[in-house]
Structure 1
Amino acid sequence: MIDYAKERLCINSKSIHQSGISNGGILSYSIIAKLSDIFASIAPVAASPLLGYGDLPGSPLSIIDLHGTRDTVVPNTLTQALGLGPYDSLVSSNDGFYYEKKSSTIKRYVDGFNCTSISSPWKTDMDGVKDWSCDLWTVCIGGMEIVNCTGSFGHNYPFGAGKHTQAARIIWNFMKTHEKQDI
């Protein structure tokens, strides 16, 4: 599909990004393991890799991850999960699947791409709304960055009905400043 679009449209191949919510966010994590050389960034929302499908991408790309602290469908932490599964995974109370802990996923990317080991705040216009905050890891291989945002919401876009555009703006602001780097 990307090759088809590149042949027919004026596309900046250094600015191809992917986002999805829930299963679409799970796809984000799965697809980058195989196609990280194409994408500049991904933006999974309310998603974590399924156990065994969170491989480190083959080439660096930036990541902004948005995940609610009240999500029981794809749990963010043990607090929302039905319990622990194999390999320190989290069991969803909704579907019984095993999801990676978000902290483990982020740590694997931070370590795997030699980012700064300590995060700093990544500021947005929504900081503090429903406990919203974002952490940023920089100085990663290829100039990539990793941002992990959380807030008090469930298995949906942040900030509730009528304010979903705020989350889209946050994602867009990240994507437009993160092009694919030549390594």
Structure 2
Amino acid sequence: SSLANYLQDEYGFDSQNTFSTGFSNGGDMSYMLACQANDVFRAIAPVAGCMMEEIYNTCDSSPVPVLEIHGTNDNVVWWNGDMQNNDGWGAYYGTEEGIDFWVETNGCMSSENNFLPNTNTSDGSYIINHRYFDCIDNAEVWLYEVVNGGHDWPGSSGNMDIEASDEIWSFFSQFISNVGDVNGDGVLNILDIVAIVNIILGGAPEVPSADFNGDGLINVLDVVEMIGFILQG
């Protein structure tokens, strides 16, 4: 999270729209960040990752959108986990158990399973999208089960039905916060200023989009900066 904060400060990256993805160990790291720095990372998308036992057992997270892409025949990060640490990397939970953790954490009430188009029949695999929705704060949980897939980044190696990078960005894009659009009508105007004032006065719960100047606080400085932004427009 320190690196993310540095990049936000140094290059002006949007503090409300920082995401994490990674492959294998990078996927494990993404789960750790969701547990330990969910105030920094808006959503995660591990590929061939897992929830290590220690992270799983100590995770006290707010709802975080999660997309996991994982092959059922992954011979490095096993689909069914390795709670006995037989492989020597440390004990970790199975893919479905990790997903169930986030479904429960995010309070998802509905689910659906869809087969993605098997556009490349020569790669020996196909994908089922397990989608969990109607969640707290719209924090959906998706699992791309790559049936017969290995320890791969789909589109680069292994399964060629999807480009994992495109799927991840499409998932993240659903959760991009439009900073300043407090009432969610797609327009920044006087109504959003009124909404921020209402939050400051305690008449409404805080929402990330109200922190217009990105300083981590919702106060009169956000109102002043938003007024200036609207007048310039």
Q: Name the TM tier (shorter chain).
A: 0.7 to 0.9
Per the alignment, residue 148 of structure 1 pairs with 143
In terms of mean alpha carbon deviation, does 67-76 or 158-167 score higher? 158-167
Query: Runs of at least 4 residues of structure 1 off by over 6 A?
Result: none
Counterpart secondary structure, 1:18: strand
RMSD over aligned Cα atoms: 2.8
**Is 1:63 equivalent to 2:58 in the alignment?**
no
Out of 92, 103, 113, the position equivalent to 1:121 is 113
Per the alignment, residue 132 of structure 2 pairs with 137
Per-residue CA distance 1:87-137 (angstroms, 9 max, x = gap): xx3655x54532101221111211122111x42136756678622121111
Q: Which letter maps to 1:10? A: G
For 1:174 and 1:122, the matched residues in 2 are separated by 16
**Is 1:112 equivalent to 2:101 in the alignment?**
no
Per the alignment, residue 166 of structure 2 pairs with 169
Counterpart secondary structure, 1:171: helix
Counterpart secondary structure, 1:153: coil
For 2:143 and 2:33, the matched residues in 1 are separated by 19
**Is 1:72 equivalent to 2:69 in the alignment?**
no
Contact 2:51 2:92 (8 Å CA) reproduced:
yes
Contact 1:23 1:47 (8 Å CA) reproduced:
yes
Per-residue CA distance 1:27-46 (angstroms, 9 max, x = gap): 11112211011111101111
TM-score, normalised to structure 1, is: 0.80
Q: Which letter maps to 2:154? A: P
Contact 1:90 1:100 (8 Å CA) reproduced:
no
For 2:63 and 2:153, the matched residues in 1 are separated by 26
Distance 1:124 1:164, change over 3 A: closer
For 1:178 and 1:57, the matched residues in 2 are separated by 21
Counterpart secondary structure, 1:14: coil
Per the alignment, residue 26 of structure 2 pairs with 24
For 2:144 and 2:52, the matched residues in 1 are separated by 19
TM-score, normalised to structure 2, is: 0.64
Contact 1:68 1:154 (8 Å CA) reproduced:
yes
Counterpart secondary structure, 1:132: strand
Contact 2:131 2:140 (8 Å CA) reproduced:
yes
Distance 1:41 1:125, change over 3 A: farther
- Larger Cα Rg: Structure 1 or Structure 2? 2
Contact 2:153 2:164 (8 Å CA) reproduced:
yes
Distance 1:175 1:90, change over 3 A: farther
Mapping for residues 17-56 of structure 1, pairs under 5 Å: 17-54=19-56, 55-56=58-59
- Aligned residue pairs: how many? 172
Per the alignment, residue 225 of structure 2 pairs with none
Counterpart secondary structure, 1:168: helix
Out of 154, 157, 163, the position equivalent to 1:158 is 154
Bigger relative contact order, structure 1 or 2 (CA pairs below 8 A, ≥6 apart): 1
Q: Which runs of 5+ in 2 are unaligned?
A: 179-206, 209-233
